[in-house]
Amino acid sequence: MKIAVEGCAHGELDTIYECVETLQEKENIKIDLLICCGDFQSVRNNNDLRAMAVPEKYQSICTFYKYYSGEKVAPILTIFIGGNHEASNYLQELPYGGWVAPNIYYLGRAGVVRFGNLRIGGLSGIFKVHDYLQGLWECPPYTPSSLRSVYHIRALDVYRLSHIKEKIHVMLSHDWPRGITSYGDTNDLLRRKPFLRDDVESNRLGSPPGEKLIHTLKPKYWFAAHLHCQFAARVKHENDEETKFLALDKCLPKRKHLQILDLPSDYDGDMLLKYDTEWLAILKNTNHLLSVKNINCHLPGPGGDERYDFTPTPDEIQIVEEAFKSLTINKDMFVKTAPDYNPDKPKRTPTEPILNPQTVYLCEKLGIDDPVQVVMARAGRTMKTFSIDCNDSQTEVTPNKCGKLSLPAPVTPSENQSQEISKESSDLSLEFSYTSENGNDTSNCITPPSAKKVFKRRNLALYTSEECEQGSDTSSSPVSSDSPRSNKLPCKSNEL
């Protein structure tokens, strides 16, 4: 099985697929799956641009709309997680995942799926300490504050992932796990990104929940993006287990944004995308913990009088299996919930959440709640369904109560362990690199020639008002100095 891993997509699907196709032709290989590590920008039309937390001058329609409208079809199965530059109104329709276009699947706020015998997990968004313990209270129309907080990671999503016991092979996040730089070539990273020095040295770079999960789940591979640079590391766990970490760049010329992962044929299986029963059972078991309040909500833990271990029992997994006739995620479930792109239409701020049939299906099968429906019900509002004649439908949902207690503290690697593993980062880079059977390096993959465009590098401090705040927030991750707007130019695949 061969997987292409993309860093920040920033809506440039045409360019990314061209890179993949060029690699396949040049190396005479077949890539079975493309996974993207956030900032996917599934923008369907001009209205979706208003639901992205980027300055208006960087609001570009890019190329996803072609795959949503049916003008093009993704040539390879694509799975992605959300980042901090997304059409949040669309992704909120699919909190538990779903097809955003034919052959393009979103993992949800957090999720686990199977592709053949490969188990893939993901956590969408970025970490901000002031929103982490809050409920999922945001929904359109967004305020300037909720437009950003809507993509901030919440404790419930991490709590659910922390109860996974079966092996995760590939894990995705947008921002890096905190402390990951201790396991790789930190000096080389700081040479390329010197403005990260203060955060690296004070251990503020990255996500504490990501740090917790990498030591809890111990996945075989962990891929990330966000900081727009390549960085490899190797995290050793107990019992000789290890996680190979790789962060990738954004889709721009001469940037290391695409990596080929060559896996043994043991992972092939039937090459179908399927629901993961352990994950679905965890969603079902923890539905009562869902909160939609904009206050801190603590989760169950040891010492209380309520259940706090939600790893499903065999009986609970069997209940989930019986609820589904088939675990294969049917591609025909994709349904349009917004008009196709029309360049003549003005940008209008989305005001009403749309009911997505894929979420309705999953909620009914598992007996769980759609967070946005709960928010709407609490406000006495109802959700709309999109149709050509714009008819509305009403759905009533009863709000749920929030559980109590907090998560355990994350684990920080020791200094000796960090130094030991840092020395091995160069070897890891070679392991990640894909070399074809004829010995050719894939690093010179150039997409077919396209019209030359001139792009400007944005000012480093453009987003410092929110996403780069340092101050007293000791857990914030800075955002790369690169513009969120991608440019369709010839690009190179990643070389390590």
Q: CA–CA distance from 267 to each of 76, 122, 164, 284, 445 (Å)? A: 18, 18, 19, 27, 26
* Residue 270 token pair: 């039937």
Burial of residue 436 (number of CB atoms within 10 Å: 0-12, 13-18, 19+): middle
**Residue 176 above 50 pLDDT?**
yes
- Residue among 213, 178, 184, 183 nearest 199 (CA): 178
Burial of residue 295 (number of CB atoms within 10 Å: 0-12, 13-18, 19+): exposed
Check residues 194 and 463 and name the one with the higher pLDDT: 194
Cβ-contact 369, 400 below 8 angstroms: yes
- What is the structure's pLDDT at 431? 52
What is the SS3 assignment for 286-304? CHHHCCCCCCECCCCCCCC
Per-residue pLDDT averaged across 137-146, rounded?
96
Helix (H) or strand (E) holding 79: strand 78-80
User: Could you give the 3-state DSSP secondary structure of residue 401?
Assistant: coil
Cβ-contact 201, 474 below 8 angstroms: no
Cβ-contact 262, 2 below 8 angstroms: yes
**Residue 47 above 50 pLDDT?**
yes
pTM: 0.82
Rounded CA gap, 356 and 90, in Å? Answer: 9
**Residue 336, CB-side half-sphere exposure with 13 Å CA sphere:** 16
Per-residue pLDDT averaged across 4-12, rounded?
96
User: Could you give the 3-state DSSP secondary structure of residue 129?
Assistant: coil
Cβ-contact 2, 263 below 8 angstroms: yes
Question: What average pLDDT does the structure give for the chain?
Answer: 83
User: Could you give the 3-state DSSP secondary structure of residue 119?
Assistant: strand
Bridge-based pairing of strands 104-106 and 258-262 is unpaired
Cβ-contact 485, 252 below 8 angstroms: no
- Break the chain into its structural domains and give their ranges: 2-444
Cβ-contact 36, 6 below 8 angstroms: yes
- Residue among 93, 91, 87, 36 nearest 62 (CA): 87
Cβ-contact 375, 365 below 8 angstroms: no
Rounded CA gap, 115 and 276, in Å? Answer: 10
The torsion region of residue 323 among left (phi > 0), alpha (psi -120 to 50) and beta comes to alpha
Per-residue pLDDT averaged across 399-422, rounded?
34
The string of pLDDT tens digits covering residues 64-83 is: 999 999 999 999 999 999 99
- What is the structure's pLDDT at 386? 83
% of the chain residues with pLDDT over 70:
78
SS3 breakdown of the chain: % helix, strand, coil, rounded to 5?
30, 15, 55
**Residue 294 above 80 pLDDT?**
yes
The string of pLDDT tens digits covering residues 303-360 is: 889 999 999 999 999 999 999 989 999 999 999 999 999 999 999 999 889 999 999 9
Rounded CA gap, 481 and 193, in Å? Answer: 10
Bridge-based pairing of strands 221-224 and 273-275 is unpaired
Amino acid identity at 311: T
Q: Identify the DSSP state of 238.
A: G
Rounded CA gap, 277 and 296, in Å? Answer: 30
- Whose tokens are 């029309």? That residue is 342
- What is the structure's pLDDT at 435? 36
Backbone angles phi, psi at 288, to 5 degrees: -70, -15
**Number of separate helices (H) and strands (E) present in the chain:** 15, 13
Q: Taking the CA atoms of the chain, what radius of gyration do you get in angstroms?
A: 21
Mention every residue, 6+ apart, whose C-beta is less than 8 A from residue 18: 447, 448
- What is the structure's pLDDT at 321? 96
User: Could you give the 3-state DSSP secondary structure of residue 52?
Assistant: coil
Rounded CA gap, 377 and 383, in Å? Answer: 9
% of the chain residues with pLDDT over 90:
73
User: Could you give the 3-state DSSP secondary structure of residue 122?
Assistant: strand
The string of pLDDT tens digits covering residues 423-467 is: 444 445 445 544 333 333 343 343 333 433 333 333 333 233 344
- Whose tokens are 């130019």? That residue is 489
- What is the structure's pLDDT at 409? 31
- What is the structure's pLDDT at 20? 96
Rounded CA gap, 84 and 61, in Å? Answer: 16
